[in-house]
């Protein structure tokens, strides 16, 4: 819904922020936040990551936040998850030196799968990961929901070394 991205852009006026959002509700909420708060350093790409990378092949980043993506909890749907080994490999092609990727989920299977993907990528990339208790961000709609359901959120930072 863009609350975290709005928070980041308001607290770093010199940075440039891009929200990649394929869903109209998220786009509308983010646009509303930008207009109401007069945010001018935040851009919205209204599609999926792969389309963004195809349109901007030379794009590089310092930080990416992937907060509570759809976990697709059923085994038969797991292939629909955003964060896969292939996705991480694609992201690494666009990472600047000293990059960080922040990942949060309340789905243990998804979390473990991301860690396995990172471990596999470590054979060819100088990356590491840290499991942390939390990181500073505005709670997303889905974390609030997870908290209400009593689900434990898990946090990961992926970076180069």
DSSP string of 61-130?
EEEEEEES-----SGGGGGG-S--HHHHHHHHTTEEEEEEEEEEES-HHHHHHHHHHHHHHTTTS-EEEE
Cα 82 from chain centroid?
9
Residues recognised as catalytic? 70
Answer for the pair 101, 159: CB distance below 8 angstroms, yes or no. Answer: yes
């Amino acid at each position: 819904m863009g609350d975290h991205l709005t928070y980041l852009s308001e607290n770093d006026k010199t940075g440039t922020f891009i929200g990649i959002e394929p869903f109209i509700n998220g786009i509308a909420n983010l646009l509303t936040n930008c207009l109401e708060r007069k945010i001018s350093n935040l851009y919205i790409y209204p599609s999926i990551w792969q389309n963004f990378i195809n349109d901007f092949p030379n794009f590089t980043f310092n930080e990416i936040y992937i907060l509570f993506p759809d976990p697709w909890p059923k085994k038969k749907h797991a292939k629909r998850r955003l964060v896969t080994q292939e996705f991480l490999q694609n992201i690494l092609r666009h990472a600047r030196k000293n990059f960080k990727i922040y990942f949060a989920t309340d789905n243990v299977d998804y979390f473990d799968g991301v860690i396995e993907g990172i471990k596999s990528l470590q054979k060819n990339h100088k990356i590491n990961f840290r499991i942390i208790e939390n990181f500073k961000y505005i709670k997303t709609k889905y974390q609030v929901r997870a908290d209400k359901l009593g689900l434990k959120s898990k946090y990961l930072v992926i970076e180069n070394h």
